[in-house]
Structure 1
């Protein structure tokens, strides 16, 4: 549940009409209706009674409206505290990012933040996860976008909702290229290109069901963008994630998911108990405001009042 969903509900409650609320929110009426139904399903209760002349709130809906108004007000006050300083804040925010579908969300967050604070610049480093963590520990990178598994003991983080699916990138003339999915065991007999990140590489070798010395691995990679060229040349098939933009770089290649499905997610993280510059502190606040749903405690408080 996100702040956006609460604003949808509150606007609908204020207008008493889904069509008018959708117009104010600049969304379609079906989109708004779907969001409201998902909210009710998540809470396990009916909030709105829909009628021909409009909508009315149930008792649970009126209680939730009070809680939602409190949460949105707190969020707006927190945002206003920082927005009031936007014309005076400058500086550089350093970000290290791996190849992941989470990069798309990061790009949207950075664009929104840049519009709000035009004097702040970003430095973006594309690295493998271990290098990013090392740069963060040295204070050379402020915020990292990494793929799980990640040891977050030393970091505060936000886990992104987008799922990343493991698969194999191969040439279209490969014997298995017409399959909808492949098993790791089927791939074990072919030359393979694997990530160099140790814990990820170990997981893949475990999926393959063989010892590393029993496999033909002509190449290890840090970033997939260069490994793609080796796949295209026929050096081997690359185990990678569907979120890597590089898998779409050649019409001669095809990404095939592995079966059974193996997935992971991205996390945005930064050092705990660290004194950041005002620019970086604002950016971290932006991340938390955009991605932090209503807390479990708030949901429990609401549920207990039903």
Structure 2
């Protein structure tokens, strides 16, 4: 399977038309169609449903599009790293970060680090912990800044000196919005919108002393934006850390912490036995020397 053909496929998937894709790629339509047919034969599956003027992806086609994007991203990252090998203080560091107070910490760290090493560039990725770990495992990103708890068997990590408080996001006109805190027993009876991460949902259930099935879960979220809209429509109460609300919360919602207080820490993690460029190695050492808890 050639990278050229993978790029052909991604262009067709993006344009939704072999004719338009051929124009973008500056190849003939018959040649492009033949390359795609050979790709399907190589994979042993059908990637497209072909219509008169438009094509749509099959389920296998959607899966291959996801994998193809990951392949192209990884090759681009690798090519860029080798292009900067001669410069020991250059290169690109790719970082995934959860949305929390760690987002502000990251911006401060990169400002300090870039003053020392101005040739280093950064690829930033915002997501929940599951997405970040998946990209760490595939080598698409180098470093992840994650909320605990995490599965630590696959990763080296540094505990960071930043703690988040858990609570509820609700409308400002909600009767509970006047509280300084809200008891866990009260929360367990409300319609909830917790984070989707299974390890986090399990921990939240343990706080309430019930199983997940016993909670009234309306929806789950990975980032707070869409959950905040559900809160505004009075569909539920979003569970999150305070820092996420500071970043993503709307003017119509507020954050009320749990009582008793529930907090969590952050880790700066990378995959064990992963080989890095010099810039990434130096950033890890900088965090170890200056930001370790």
Q: TM-score, normalization: structure 1?
A: 0.63
Name the counterpart of 1:252. Answer: 252
Matches within 5 A, 1:13-162: 89-162=89-162
Is the 8 Å Cα contact of residues 100 and 247 (structure 2) preserved in structure 1? no
Deviation at 1:246, TM superposition (A): 4.5
Measured after TM superposition, the shift of residue 248 of structure 1 is: 6.3
1:92–1:264 CA distance, 2 compared to 1 (3 A): same
Structure 1 window deviating more from structure 2 (259-268 vs 172-181): it is: 172-181
Tell me which residue corresponds to 2:231: 231
- Once the 2 structures are TM-superposed, how far is the Cα of residue 109 of structure 1 from its aligned partner? 0.9
Residue 292 of structure 1: how far off its partner (Å): 4.1
Moved over 6 A (4+): none
Summarize the alignment of residues 148-297 of structure 1 with structure 2, pairs less than 5 Å apart: 148-246=148-246, 249-292=249-292
Q: Within 2, Cα distance between the matches of 1:284 and 1:118?
A: 16
Q: Distance in 2 between matches of 1:290 and 1:127?
A: 25
Distance 1:86-1:251 versus aligned 2 partners, 3 A rule: farther
Deviation at 1:225, TM superposition (A): 2.4
Cα 1:277–1:237, aligned 2, differ >3 Å: closer, same or farther? same
Query: In structure 2, the residue corresponding to 1:270 is in which secondary structure?
Result: strand
Aligned to 1:219, the other structure's residue is in SS state coil
Structure 1 residues 239-276: Cα deviation after superposition (integer angstroms, max 9, x where no partner): 11112145663222111111111111011111223221
TM-score, with structure 2 as normaliser: 0.66
RMSD of Structure 2 on Structure 1 (CA): 2.1
Q: Distance in 1 between matches of 2:206 and 2:152?
A: 24
Query: CA 1:187/1:292 → structure 2, altered by over 3 Å: closer, same or farther?
Result: closer
Q: Which residue of 1 aligns with 2:34?
A: none
Structure-2 change in CA distance of 1:139 and 1:252 (3 Å)? same
Q: Does the Cα contact within 8 Å between 2:161 and 2:291 map onto a contact in 1?
A: no
**Total equivalences in the alignment:** 209
1:258–1:86 CA distance, 2 compared to 1 (3 A) = farther
Asked if 2 retains the 8 angstrom alpha-carbon contact of 1:160 and 1:265, the reply is yes
Distance 1:94 1:248 in 2: 23
Q: What is the distance in 1 between the residues matched to 2:253 and 2:217?
A: 19
| CA shift for structure 1 position 86 | 11
User: What corresponds to 1:27 in structure 2?
Assistant: none
Q: Quick one: distance in 1 between partners of 2:261 and 2:140?
A: 36
The answer for unaligned runs of 5 or more in structure 2 is 1-84
Contact 2:195–2:201 under 8 Å retained in 1: yes
Does the 8 A contact of 1:169 with 1:247 survive in 2?
A: no
Q: Deviations over 1:48-79 (max 9, x none)?
A: xxxxxxxxxxxxxxxxxxxxxxxxxxxxxxxx
| Contact map agreement 2:224 2:248 (CA 8 A) in 1 | no
Mark the runs of 5 or more structure 1 residues left unpaired by the alignment: 1-84, 294-306
- Following the alignment from structure 1 to structure 2, what is the Cα–Cα distance between the partners of residues 227 and 163? 22
- Would you say the 8 A contact 1:225–1:246 is kept in 2? no
Sort the Cα spacing of 1:258 and 1:112 in 2 relative to 1 into closer, same or farther, 3 A.
same
